[in-house]
Amino acid sequence: MKVVALAGGVGGARLCDGLQQVLAPGDLTVVVNTGDDTERHGLLVCPDHDTVMYTLAGIADPVQGWGIAGESWAVMDRLALYGEETWFRLGDRDIATHIARTARLRAGSRLTEVSLGLQASLGVASRILPMTDVPVRTQVLSDDGWLAFQDYFVRLRQAPEVRAVSFDGVDAASSTPEVLAAFAEADAIVICPSNPVVSVGPILAVPGMRDSIEAARTRGVRIAAISPIVAGRAIKGPADRMLASLGHDVSAAGVARLYAGLADVFVLDAEDADLASAVEALGMRTLVTDSIMTDGAARARLARETLAALG
In a domain, 126, yes or no: yes
Per-residue model confidence as pLDDT tens digits over 44-54: 999 999 999 99
Q: What is the pLDDT of residue 295?
A: 96
* Nearest CA-CA partner of 243 in 304, 153, 165, 178: 165
Q: What is the pLDDT of residue 235?
A: 86
176-205: per-residue pLDDT in tens? 999 999 999 999 999 999 999 999 999 999
What confidence score (pLDDT) does residue 129 get?
98
Give me the domain span that covers residue 211: 3-137+169-309
How does pLDDT run across 273-293, given as a tens digit for each residue?
A: 999 999 999 999 999 999 999
* Dihedral angle computed from the Cα positions of residues 255, 237, 102 and 85, in that order, rounded to the nearest 10 degrees: 140
pLDDT for the residue 69: 97
Separation in Å, CA 154 to CA 88, 159, 252? 7, 10, 26
CA distance 111 to 192: 22
Sign of torsion, CA 308 127 210 195?
Answer: positive
Alpha-carbon gap, residue 269 to 273, rounded angstroms: 7
More confidently predicted of 276 and 311: 276
pLDDT band at residue 242 under the 50/70/90 scheme:
very high
163 belongs to a structural domain? no
> Any residues with CB less than 8 A from the CB of 30 and at least 6 apart, and which?
4, 5, 6, 7, 16, 52, 56, 126, 127, 128, 129
Measured CA distances, 148 to 122, 151, 206 (Å) = 30, 5, 19
Q: Is residue 206 within a helix (H) or strand (E), and if so which, with residue range? A: none
Asked whether residue 159 is assigned to any structural domain, the reply reads no
The DSSP bridge partners found for residue 224 are 190, 265
* pLDDT of amino acid 311: 84
pLDDT attached to residue 236: 84
Alpha carbon distance 226, 191 (integer Å) = 6
Give the pLDDT score at 237. 87
How far apart CA 87 and CA 74 sit, in angstroms, is: 15
pLDDT tier at 303, thresholds 50, 70, 90: very high
Q: What is the pLDDT of residues 14-44, one digit of tens each?
A: 999 999 999 999 999 999 999 999 999 999 9
Q: What angle do CA 70, 38, 169 make, to 5 degrees?
A: 150
**DSSP, residue by residue, 58-83:** T-B-TTTSSSBTT---HHHHHHHHTT
pLDDT for the residue 131: 98
Beta bridge partners of 222: 188
Instruction: Over range 82-102, report the average pLDDT.
Output: 97
| CB atoms inside a 10 Å sphere around CB 141 | 18
Residue-level pLDDT at 109: 98
Phi, psi angle pair for 310, to nearest 5°: -75, -15
pLDDT for 135-167, tens place per residue?
999 999 999 999 999 999 999 999 999 999 999
143 falls within a domain? no
- How many C-beta atoms lie closer than 10 Å to residue 229's C-beta? 28
Q: What mean pLDDT, rounded, does the chain reach? A: 97
Query: What total number of domains does the chain contain?
Result: 1
Arithmetic mean of pLDDT, 104-131? 98
Residue 264, pLDDT above cutoff 90: yes
**Domain presence at residue 62:** yes
Is residue 50 one of the residues assigned to a domain? yes
Of the candidates 49, 28, 208, the residue with the CA atom closest to the CA atom of residue 114: 49
Residue 45 is part of a domain; what is its CATH number? 3.40.50.10680
Give the chain's radius of gyration (CA, Å): 19
The answer to the question of residue 87 being in a domain is yes
Does 105 fall in a domain? yes
- Binned at pLDDT 50, 70 and 90, residue 252 comes out as very high
Q: Is the pLDDT of residue 221 over 90?
A: yes
107 band by pLDDT with thresholds 50, 70 and 90: very high
